[in-house]
Amino acid sequence: MRQDYDYLVVGTGLFGAVVAHEATKRGKRVLVVDRRTHIGGNCFTEDVAGINVHKYGAHIFRTSRRDVWDYMRQFADFNHFVNSPIARYHGKVYNLPFNMNTFSRIWGVTTPAEAAAMIAEQRMEISGEPRNLEEKAISLVGRDVYEILIREYTEKQWGRPCRELPASIIRRLPVRFTYDNNYFNDPYQGIPVGGYTTIFEKMLKGCDVRLGVDFLMERAELERIADRIVFTGAIDEYYDFCFGPLEYRSLRFEHRTLEGVKNLQGVAVVNYTDSSVPYTRSIEHKHFEFGTQPDTVVSYEYPYEWKPGAEPYYPINDDKNQSLYDRYAALAVGRDPHVLFGGRLGRYRYTDMQDTVIAAREALEELFARHE
Ligand code: UDP
């Protein structure tokens, strides 16, 4: 029997929206549902006091691929924002990522050779291949930078000692021997003018969208209305945690509108790298779009340990959780070949927006190659 829809996409975040857009473009009938009452997943932005507020934390789009950049620019113009966050440690400020401005501030050095010599001396305490985040960080930037900018911040963010965290977490951050405060190395970077939500509105044009619909609560009915399902929620939840829950790190955001304050922190992102401050970051959203509004909106980001029922943010990709995920993934292949699991939660992998766009487009191509 012909179904109402060819595809049911569960989740209106970046993975789901790109898949829905591409499938619709290829003539498929697509229904998209989301348990939240808005589109865009964690990229969602909302206008507060004329400022586009990133309600689930800072999303700065950047990519090293021209095709991905062009793809995104179909849906919005991107401005020339460059992320140059400031770190605060016991009231003193430092530039990020780790670069000559940082080294100069900490050690008083002025040349790359002097900075490299300091690091070379300090990294001598590490012998052999770094086995964890602490050893990796010290071998990259030395003990002093590790203590001021990495240790307490990382332990606050992940709720685990740096010695028990994988080195891969810190590999995301550039270390530079130039006076360059750009947090990213990618040649293309910016914030969509008008916020992210308009991108999602455009991506989902032509699909049917039902918000406030929890697929897992209504699965019996929803499974019947489409031939194929693209599920971007948590894979362990999809299988009712049958092998036990995967672990995540969660976040809580406190949003504050400050009337009459034009410029609170002078920069979009401040990282708080000492443990006496309970939040990891504060985001002053207007700076993403060079706003000159009379008021400002600031969001404070508090990490906490995920428990069933809380919002999962960062997968904890240690060996234990990875092998648990592998069991769920094998179950999915064996039992539900008509379901494509995607996105950060569906694949239990932390990805940047550009990787998500690439993964979604590839997944859709693969689906079409196999079935259409
Ligand atoms: N990190 C740090 N100090 C900082 C910023 C980042 O030690 O001021 C480390 C920390 O371990 C973090 C990792 O670098 O988990 C990755 O940081 P990134 O800013 O990429 O995290 P995201 O923005 O993706 O949460």
Decide if 249 is catalytic.
yes
Q: 227 and 345: one domain? A: yes
Kindly tell me if the per-residue pLDDT of 276 is higher than 80. Answer: yes
Q: pLDDT tens for residues 34-46?
A: 999 999 999 999 9
Mutate which of 134, 154, 277 for ligand 1 pocket (most atoms within 8 A of beta carbon) = 154
pLDDT of residue 3: 76
Packing angle between helix 353-371 and helix 14-25, nearest 10 degrees? 40
- Domain containing 282 equals 248-305
Element (H, E) at 87: strand 86-89
Nearest CA to ligand 1 atom 23: 58
Confidence of residue 2 (pLDDT cuts 50, 70, 90): low
For residue 92, give both structure tokens: 């003193």
Average pLDDT, the chain: 96
Contact of 212 with 29, CB cutoff 8 Å: no
Q: Does residue 263 sit in the same domain as residue 231? A: no
Residue 47: active-site member: no
Residues 325, 349 share a domain: yes
Q: What is the pLDDT of residues 192-221, one digit of tens each?
A: 999 999 999 999 999 999 999 999 999 999
Query: How does residue 13 score in pLDDT terms, banded at 50, 70 and 90?
Result: very high
The predicted pLDDT at position 61 comes to 98
State whether 124 and 256 are in the same domain.
no
Active site residue 350: yes
User: What's the confidence (pLDDT) of residue 367?
Assistant: 86
pLDDT value at residue 154: 97
Determine the Cα–Cα distance for residues 323 and 340; give it in Å rounded to an integer.
Answer: 20
Residue 244 pLDDT > 70, yes or no?
yes
Are both 346 and 321 inside the same structural domain?
A: yes
Q: Dump the DSSP string for 303-317.
A: EEE--TTSPP-EE--
Model confidence band, residue 242 (pLDDT cutoffs 50, 70, 90): very high
pTM of the shown model? 0.95
- pLDDT at position 1 over 60: no
Q: Residue 176 falls within a domain, yes or no?
A: no
Q: 153: Cβ below 6 Å to ligand 1?
A: yes
Residue among 51, 89, 86 nearest 265 (CA)? 86
- Across the range 59-79, mean pLDDT stands at 98
205 and 62 both lie in a single domain = yes
Residues 28 and 14 in one domain: yes
Query: Would you say the CB of residue 83 lies under 6 angstroms from ligand 1?
Result: no
Given 114, 336, 352, 355, which residue is catalytic? 352
Which atom number of ligand 1 is nearest to the Cα of residue 350? 24
Both tokens of 14, joined, read: 């970046």
**Percent of the chain surpassing pLDDT 90:** 91
Residue among 150, 184, 269, 353 whose CB has most ligand 1 atoms within 8 A, to mutate:
150
DSSP code per residue over 144-200 = HHIIIIIHHHHHHHHSS-GGGS-GGGGGGS-B-SSS---S---SEEE-BTT-SHHHH
Q: Are residues 202 and 263 in the same domain?
A: no
Strand partners, 63: 188
Question: What's the average model confidence in pLDDT over 163-186?
Answer: 93
Average pLDDT of span 135-163: 97
In a domain, 203, yes or no: yes
Ligand 1 contact, 267 CB (< 6 A)? no
CA distance 113 to 126: 21
59 has pLDDT over 80: yes
CA of 170 to the centre of ligand 1 (A): 7
DSSP helix/strand/coil, 357: helix
Closest atom, ligand 1, to C-alpha of 58: 23
Say if residue 166 is preceded by a cis peptide, omega within 30 of 0. no
Q: Where is the domain boundary, 305, 327, 343? A: 305
**Distance of alpha carbon 103 from alpha carbon 269, whole angstroms:** 20
Residue 275's pLDDT is 97
59 and 12 in a common domain: yes
pLDDT of residue 318: 83
Name the catalytic one among 62, 123, 176, 361. 176
Q: Is 87 in the pocket of ligand 1 (CB under 6 A)?
A: yes
pLDDT above 60 (res 363): yes
Confidence of residue 308 (pLDDT cuts 50, 70, 90): confident
Q: Look at residue 265 in the predicted model and tell me its pLDDT.
A: 98
Q: For the chain, how many structural domains are there in total?
A: 3
Segment 336-360, tens digit of pLDDT? 999 999 999 999 998 999 999 999 9
Check whether residue 225 and residue 336 sit in a common domain. Answer: yes
- Ligand 1 centre distance from Cα of residue 280 (Å): 10
Q: Quick one: 228 and 253 in the same domain?
A: no
